[in-house]
């Protein structure tokens, strides 16, 4: 009891002392609002400052890497007439207004991407632009070889997938650089996913907001159509390795009758992996090159759930009994090599292909290259077009000069003070390397082809006059694209 009384007395003494201190404190100024305090303090500048010396070092390194990359370029001899050479009289220099806005486009904080041209080749580092990893071409080092193989492989598609052949030989499948297709990567044998690798693999099974908004009906990207993949197929596994040459999908209103149906609202797609390999032999004096494998899948209406559908069809085309529904055995064996289930592996394959097809359309310009009845497409930025097609056939203007190719004119103010917006000018169609080239800007010259979202219908034969097959749909789309935006 005495201890408690002592603690209470000490507590009262402390409170009395704090009361005296509080009463004797000097008057305090009024508290300023928190908003004004934040506004008066400058925001911390955590971004590193880039001085002139660092900028010059970076630009010098970029030029060095670009020179090494340009050594891999391949060119052709341009055809056409020789342009007339004019001698220019000395021009009078006019004072140009200062363009301070150019500094806004100097992304000095962006790191340079330099690596071996082919992983493990031991060569010097070369320059890689960031958009190359998303399917946009910047350099001439691979396109000619890819086109030569493209004409071969798409022609092989004619026998075993005639519908896709008739469509994509007109519209064109999309070529991508080696950085996007993985051709420059060092070949690795089957890697089984475990732990964090497996979690990351499953995390990549998703559809982008663009896909869930537009639900594209079709899309096709070239995967193994390049000499590096062919070299791997011939040397690494002595011809026993097959690489998909085309990855394409089509949205359908209904799935075949021998495929699992889903009662919940959603979208049906058919995903096709087109296998082929170089030097594939002919069997029984008939062409037996390409092998398309198609599997159905269902996507929920919100795009968050994706499911590979079971089927009764076997790999030989026969139909199993009514109670025997399964994912084909070939897909299960393929997924097992990576330590995955067929459901996870095929879902990842579709999402990965859908993102790659979408990313190839990020480029400003669409280049359609036609050789006879076959067409290929790829994306490129307008500032790279004059370099990319420097060896095109010569086209002359009315006064005998070489006509300028498609290019961008920056916004400017003329001598009268009139402001002109950014414009696209120059030659859009020309001959190059024995092919016809047409350059367009989707969304400006015509609608975006990948945003076509009318699903196909699975029928054995035509039932109505209004139905169109793949070839007729492709012709209709080309007609609309040639008409332009209306």
User: What does the mean pLDDT of the chain come to?
Assistant: 82
Separation CA 69–CA 89 (nearest Å): 37
pLDDT at 100: 32
pLDDT tens, residue by residue, 79-95: 877 777 767 666 555 44
Say how far apart CA 359 and CA 61 lie, in whole Å: 28
The band of 18, judged by pLDDT with boundaries at 50, 70 and 90, is very low
Q: Given the DSSP bridges, would you call strands 125-128 and 136-137 parallel, antiparallel or unpaired?
A: unpaired
256 contacts: CB under 8 Å, gap ≥ 6: 296, 311, 313, 458
Q: Give Cβ neighbours of residue 159 (< 8 Å, ≥ 6 apart).
A: 287, 289, 290
Q: pLDDT tens digits for 274-311? A: 998 876 655 554 555 678 999 999 999 999 999 999 99
- What integer pLDDT is reported at residue 310 of this predicted model? 92
Structure confidence at residue 32 (pLDDT): 36
Which residues lie closer than 8 Å to 320 by C-beta, 6 or more apart? 312, 313, 314, 326
Condensed to tens digits (0 to 9), the pLDDT of residues 333-389 reads 999 989 999 999 999 999 999 999 999 999 999 999 999 999 999 999 999 999 999
DSSP annotation of 140: S
| Percent of the chain residues topping a pLDDT of 70 | 79
Show Cβ contacts of residue 128 under 8 Å, excluding neighbours closer than 6 positions: 69, 113, 114, 115, 179
pLDDT value of residue 303: 94
Residue 175 has pLDDT above 70, yes or no: yes
DSSP assignment string, 52-82:
HHHHHHHHHHHHHHHHHHHTT-------BPP
Q: What are phi and psi of 483, to 5 degrees?
A: -75, -25
- Full DSSP string of 121-135: S---EEEE-GGGGGT
Listed ranges 146-150, 404-408, 466-470; the one with the highest mean pLDDT: 146-150
Check residues 247 and 29 and name the one with the higher pLDDT. 247
User: Are 377 and 392 in contact, with CB atoms under 8 Å apart?
Assistant: no
How far is C-alpha 447 from the chain's CA centre?
18
Share of the chain above pLDDT 90, in %: 52
Nearest alpha-carbon partner for 474 in 170, 94, 249, 128: 170
Q: What is the pLDDT of residue 89?
A: 65
Mean pLDDT of 411-425: 88
Characterize 66-76 residue by residue with b for buried, 16 or more Cβ atoms within 10 angstroms of its Cβ, and e for exposed.
bebbeeebeee
pLDDT band at 10 (very low <50, low <70, confident <90, very high): very low
Q: CA triplet 186, 189, 190: central angle to 5 degrees? A: 130
Q: Is 464 exposed, middle or buried (0-12, 13-18, 19+ CB in 10 A)?
A: exposed
């Amino acid at each position: 009891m005495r201890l408690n009384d002592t603690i209470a007395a000490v507590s009262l003494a402390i409170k009395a002392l704090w009361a005296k201190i509080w009463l004797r404190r000097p008057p305090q100024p009024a508290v300023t609002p928190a908003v004004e305090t934040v506004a008066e303090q400058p925001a911390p500048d955590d971004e590193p400052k880039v001085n002139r010396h660092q900028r010059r070092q970076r630009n010098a390194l970029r030029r060095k890497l670009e020179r090494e990359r340009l050594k891999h370029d391949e060119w052709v001899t341009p055809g056409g007439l020789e342009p007339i050479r004019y001698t220019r009289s000395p021009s009078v220099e006019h004072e140009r207004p200062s363009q301070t806005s150019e500094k806004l486009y100097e992304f000095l904080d962006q790191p340079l991407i330099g690596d071996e041209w082919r992983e493990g080749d031991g060569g010097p580092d070369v320059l890689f632009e960031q958009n190359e990893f998303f399917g946009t071409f910047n350099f001439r080092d691979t396109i000619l070889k890819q086109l030569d193989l493209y004409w071969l492989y798409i022609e092989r598609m004619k026998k075993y997938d005639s519908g896709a052949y008739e469509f994509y030989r007109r519209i064109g499948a999309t070529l991508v650089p080696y950085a996007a297709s993985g051709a420059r990567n060092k070949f690795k044998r089957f890697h089984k996913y475990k732990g964090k690798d497996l979690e990351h693999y499953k995390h990549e099974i998703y559809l982008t907001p663009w896909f869930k908004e537009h639900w594209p009906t079709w899309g096709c990207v070239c995967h193994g159509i390049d000499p590096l993949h062919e070299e791997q197929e011939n040397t690494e596994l002595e011809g026993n390795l097959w690489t998909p040459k085309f990855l394409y999908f089509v949205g359908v209103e209904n799935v075949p009758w021998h495929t699992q149906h889903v009662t919940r609202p959603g979208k049906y797609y058919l995903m096709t992996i087109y296998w082929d390999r170089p030097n594939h032999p002919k069997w029984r004096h008939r062409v037996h090159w390409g092998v398309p494998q198609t599997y159905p899948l269902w996507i929920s209406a919100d795009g968050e759930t994706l499911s590979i559908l079971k089927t009764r069809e076997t790999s030989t085309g026969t139909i199993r009994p009514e109670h025997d529904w399964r994912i084909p055995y070939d897909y299960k064996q393929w997924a097992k090599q990576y330590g995955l289930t067929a459901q996870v592996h095929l879902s990842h394959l579709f999402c990965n292909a859908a993102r790659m097809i979408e990313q190839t359309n990020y480029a400003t310009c669409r280049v359609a290259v036609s050789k006879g009845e076959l067409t290929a497409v790829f994306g490129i930025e307008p500032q790279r077009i004059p370099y990319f097609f420097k060896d095109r056939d010569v086209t002359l203007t009315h006064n005998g000069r070489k006509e300028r190719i498609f290019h961008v004119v920056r916004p400017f103010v003329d001598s009268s003070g009139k402001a002109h917006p950014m414009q696209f000018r120059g030659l859009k169609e020309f001959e190059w390397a024995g092919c016809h080239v047409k350059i367009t800007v989707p969304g400006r010259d015509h609608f975006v082809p990948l945003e076509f979202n009318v699903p196909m219908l699975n029928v054995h034969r035509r039932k109505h006059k209004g139905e169109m097959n793949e070839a007729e749909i492709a012709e209709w789309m080309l007609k609309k694209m040639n008409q332009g935006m209306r």
